[in-house]
Structure 1
């Protein structure tokens, strides 16, 4: 009997031990890999931070070396004033020194090192600076009062090096850079110079280090080391042993439960991995489509502008007008396609505001019913007392219309002509908002009883240009546009479907306590004309916009770069408005506007750009006009600024 019980216990315990051991090994390996990745990222991030600090110091010292105060004999009062100002901006500099090419210190500010002038403490880095005529970062050297290193820049005058300017920086000034990277307290970060001397250290690795990760700082020839101690892994090992011991004690009772839990966890892990791969794939496609859309916008702008100008000049020739209308219609369709690409790439221009979703759906109900036809019922249901959402109203209306039309097409598959579409507004489920930023959300779902999608189709449903519709019934951009709009609005689009069971598309959007805005009345367009400066590096875009403005009485001066634009602006005080592209030779539109305002120029500005996320340095009071634009849109934007 005892032997039977032992055999039964071992029989029940063996699968648990095997599965538990395997699960523990996998978990331990994943945790160790995560620690390894964290160590590599910490070393690279710290190396980049140190490199940026060194590069900034090198640039500052190079700027000093080019000062006119060092031409010929040292202009001590002028150089002292320059040094004082720069050292106020660089409080980590202990001394700013000028030495001759033989290493004799001629001037130390704010006071001589060690109380008197003499030879430089690190002559090798000075000799390299003289020989190479390039800035050099010296070794960590113990001086009279502190351990420091020097950043040196040669003063090159007529192919000679009469002086070398050096910023002396205590090594303790580098210590805060190591603390900027958040790592476990028992890890150790160290910064070494070219000779292997420790410049700075943070943390103290306890025990023998299992792994040391080293990253180079190319700007100085230094290295950053991240040491992970053995103790960082003992917690994972201890947890694994506890799991194995607990599993052995309750083996017979929990065998089925543990096996089920393991299967569920593995399934969730696969789902998470598949979701990550899909997100990365969609992100890559988004970057590609966004770049293509931006270039297409630049191509469409002169096309639409030229057609508008031709329409105004062609007269009453009906055949020519028909050709122009056909070309304009095709260009507008291309413009709409580009807008959808930008929506998928999350680079469209949005104007988020508080929206009462129930009221919006009530306004759309008649349009939605007409869109699906009389044989399909489109029902709208909203929960009471829901908060408003924060989103772009036009894009939200377009997203709802796209989802309803997709539902209609799913119902009308094969010979079927009737069905039901339900549009529900409700609080989201917990799984709908998982991994979204903390806050309140609203769920707008569109459910149909159509053919549904299999797993393979569902995985690709939000890819741009992917469609299961035959012929020319769709571009494959509807769901991808809704997905991009949801992501850009800090929400998400959730698709649920199965063959023969219909599809549910749920749009999750953040809510807001702000009241919906009151729409302004449309005002008449003024007729004032003015002198306008137009800056754009694309000749076709510039010519089309200039011709539109000149055709309506404006005087236009053209420039193709930031430098030409600033020169034209400073030489034409009568200019009332500046229209500038964002990306152009010599700098960005934001830099152009900042420099003009810094110079005290009073003109107003209008920015032309292909999509929104590039204009990060644009002042908030500068309006933007998206490419491609029509003649009417350009004139309305100009009139609003001249009013």
Structure 2
């Protein structure tokens, strides 16, 4: 009997141990491969960043080596002015220098390196630039001012032969930030090494622990990026696997059934997490693609709408032509609305707060909301008397209400129900709704349903992105998170209250404003004042359409397609009364353009044309924005408001 029991135990234990060992080996190999892939990806990504940085510096130095101020000798005043401007655009440069073919520095900007002119510190790259007649990246060396740096050099070619060498001196600390763009474990080490093996920059752990390194070259400079992973990371995986195998072998017979059940549960959860991760990645990629496509569509729709508005005024009383123009304008407006929804979905829509009469907005939305929930669910609206307007983005507020109503509909239909009630109420907020908000007056917009409700655990996670209790083909988990983000961005909050079987109340708390709600004004056909206007936009179609609209109403318009051209045009036309600029354009952003113009003492007001400005951190808060695509009346009204 004892032998039978032992044999049965060994028979049951042996396959479990073998399977556990195989599973542990596969897991170890996959985890090690994942570490290798992560290290290789970090190395390649950092090398690309370094390469782009070096290439940009090479292009800049090559450009200044071709300056006309170096055509016949060195025109020091002109070159100094150009060089200092270039250094303003490259704040990481420590110096800009010109040396002759013997390595003697003849001009250093902004001041002599080390206090006096002399020989170049690292002559090897200077000789290579003269020999090859191509830009070169020098070695990392300590300079006379005790600053470790490298030089980026380009020869000045005159009459087919090198005459001088222009060099930009870049401190190694300027490359340090490139190593922090990759998110890697704290015990990893990233190093940037030059052609001689000198460490240019380094981040991460520096110790005596043995490391496994992955190296990627930077072809633009002859440097290389090294990502080193502690070998102890792999040893730790081995130790963990051994402990799992030993513990599993000892407890295998006693907990075999429980282990099988736990494994099945874990595999199911793992598949759910994997599916959620894949879905999140797809949605993120779709959001980026959607934002980019919508931005391009805005640029395409702007000249279409502008051209149609111009044609409307030039066709006279021809009813057939007016009908064609109205049809085309209606289609363009529908495309404009679709682009706005795409940008809202991609979270790249710049908010434009305005005063909104909430009861009027809800009345306008009621038909759409009722159609969205279906005929079997009643959707009613209750608004308190004499409510002040709120300050928010109208499109985003309407989208938030629609999201909340659709969530309420789905909660009612959970469990096979076909009918229910949704109540939308606009009212003053309760005191507990305002805790933690800034002092001021607010309005509450609540959506209540008599659906299934949520338990405490679900309620805590309801506003997390991608968290959903719906089937995978019915929900993305983005609705409440988008409403929450909109409320926070509007200086308010979203309050959720729910209990199982008692329905859910979702309440938007938004700040009120003393400004009256906007009223459409179509009475004026011409601007109240004409003026000289500078229009800066790198898209020729957008620039031409906007300029034609302005000129058709009496304005004098000068055009530019980049930041530098805009600054030059301002300098040549001090009588300019208004500047209209795009945000993304060659030579810098609209925010940089505004800052440089104001630093130069130019008092003109600015109007920013934008498709979306999700990264416009440098934009002053007092600059009004006009979203693309815009209509003729919208552009003229914005110009009138600034010309005042």
Contact 2:151 2:169 in 1 (8 A): yes
Equivalent-residue separation in structure 1 for 2:540 and 2:323 (angstroms): 28
Distance 1:555-1:378 versus aligned 2 partners, 3 A rule: closer
- Aligned match of 2:271: 270
Deviations 1:578-631 (A, max 9, x none): 223345566654454344334332221212222333655543322111122233
Cα distance, 1:358–1:174 mapped onto 2, change above 3 Å? same
Return the offset for 1:164. 4.4
Q: Aligned-pair distance for 1:187?
A: 4.5
Q: Which residue of 1 aligns with 2:227?
A: 226
Quote the offset at 1:19 in angstroms: 4.6
Find the residue that maps to 1:612 and give its secondary structure. coil
Pick from 517, 521, 546 the counterpart of residue 516 of structure 2: 521
Partner deviation per Cα, 1:158-190 (whole Å, 9 max, x = no partner): 244444466788989978976887755654545
Corresponding position of 2:627: 626
The one-character-per-residue Cα deviations of 1:200-222 (angstroms, maximum 9, x if unpaired) are 6664565654x420011233202
Report the counterpart of residue 499 of structure 2 in structure 1: none
Following superposition, the deviation at residue 131 of structure 1 comes to 1.0
Alpha-carbon spacing, 1:532–1:50, altered in 2? closer, same or farther (3 Å): same
1:43 and 2:73 are equivalent in the alignment? no
Q: Write the distance in 1 (CA, Å) between the matches of 2:636 and 2:279.
A: 43
For residues 587 and 559 of structure 2, what CA distance do their matches in structure 1 show? 12
Distance in 2 (CA, whole Å) between partners of 1:490 and 1:20 is 50
Cα gap change, 1:192 to 1:297, in 2 (>3 Å): closer
Q: 1:338 to 1:10 in 2, by over 3 A?
A: same
Q: Hey, what does 1:496 align to over in structure 2?
A: none
CA distance in 2, matches of 1:593, 1:307: 31
Aligned to 2:555: 555
Aligned to 1:237: 238
Q: CA RMSD in A?
A: 5.5
SS in 2 for 1:613: coil
- In the alignment, is the contact (CA less than 8 A) between 2:129 and 2:155 conserved in 1? no
Q: In the TM superposition, what is the alpha-carbon distance from 1:11 to its structure 2 partner?
A: 4.1
Change (3 A) 1:60 1:542: closer
**2:631 is aligned with 1:608:** no
Cross-structure match for 1:129: 129
**Structure 1 residue 351: deviation in Å?**
4.2
> C-alpha distance in 1, partners of 2:75/2:547?
53
Once the two structures are TM-superposed, the CA of residue 148 in structure 1 deviates from its matched residue by: 6.7
Residues 555 and 103 (structure 1), Cα distance of their counterparts in 2 relative to 1, 3 Å cut: closer
Secondary structure, aligned partner of 1:293:
helix
Pairing of 1:199-218 with structure 2 (within 5 A): 203-204=205-206, 209=211, 211-218=212-219
The Cα shift of 1:567 comes to 5.0
Deviation at 1:395, TM superposition (A): 2.0
Post-superposition offset of 1:111: 4.9
Residue 284 of structure 1 is matched in structure 2 by 285
* Equivalent in the alignment of 1:419: 419
Distance 2:20 2:356 in 1: 52
Gaps of 5+ in 1: 382-388, 437-442, 448-452, 463-478, 492-504
Moved more, 330-339 or 396-405: 396-405
Q: What are the within-5 Å matches in structure 2 for residues 464-503 of structure 1?
A: 489=486
The residue that corresponds to 2:459 in the other structure is 429
Distance 1:111 1:96, change over 3 A: farther
Q: Whole-Å Cα distance in 2 between the matches of residues 44 and 317 of structure 1?
A: 63
What's the offset of the Cα at 1:223?
Answer: 1.6
Q: Structure 1 residues 519, 374: CA separation in 2 closer, same or farther (over 3 Å shift)?
A: farther
Contact 2:357 2:517 in 1 (8 A): no
Q: How many residues align?
A: 573
Q: Distance in 2 between matches of 1:391 and 1:257?
A: 55
Which residue in the other structure is 1:347 paired with? 348
1:347 positional shift: 2.7
Secondary structure of 2:602's counterpart equals: coil
Q: CA deviation at 1:556?
A: 3.4
Q: Secondary structure at the match of 1:575?
A: coil
User: Residue in 1 aligned with 2:636?
Assistant: 635
- In the aligned structure 1, how far is the partner of 2:408 from the partner of 2:164? 77
Q: How does 1:520-599 map to 2 (within 5 A)?
A: 520-522=515-517, 528-533=528-533, 534-536=535-537, 541-542=542-543, 544-546=545-547, 548-549=549-550, 553-559=553-559, 561-562=561-562, 565-583=566-584, 588-599=589-600
Cα displacement string for residues 200-253 of structure 1 (whole angstroms, at most 9, x for unaligned residues): 6664565654x4200112332022223333212111211122222222222233
- How far the C-alpha of 1:577 sits from its partner, in A, is 2.0
Structure 2 Cα separation of the partners of residues 607 and 405 of structure 1: 35
- State the match for 2:34 in structure 1: 34
Instruction: Assess if the C-alpha contact under 8 Å between 2:114 and 2:144 holds in 1.
Output: no
Residues 370-379 or 278-287, more deviating: 370-379
**CA separation in 1, counterparts of 2:355 and 2:289?**
31
How far, CA to CA, are the matches of 2:131 and 2:358 in structure 1? Answer: 72
SS at match of 2:614: helix
Partner SS state of residue 252, structure 1 = coil
Q: Is the 8 A contact 1:404 1:421 kept in 2?
A: no
State the Cα distance separating 1:376 from its structure 2 match.
Answer: 2.9
Partner secondary structure for residue 330 of structure 1: helix
Match of 1:494 in 2: none
Structure-2 residue corresponding to 1:384: none
1:255 aligns with 2:250: no
Q: Is the 8 A contact 2:408 2:448 kept in 1?
A: no
* Structure 2 residue runs without a partner (length 5+): 383-389, 423-446, 489-502
**Mean Cα deviation higher: 517-526 or 239-248:** 517-526
Q: Which residue of the partner structure matches residue 470 of structure 1?
A: none
Q: What residue in structure 2 maps to residue 473 of structure 1?
A: none
Asked if the contact 1:188–1:205 (Cα under 8 Å) also holds between the matched residues in 2, the reply is no
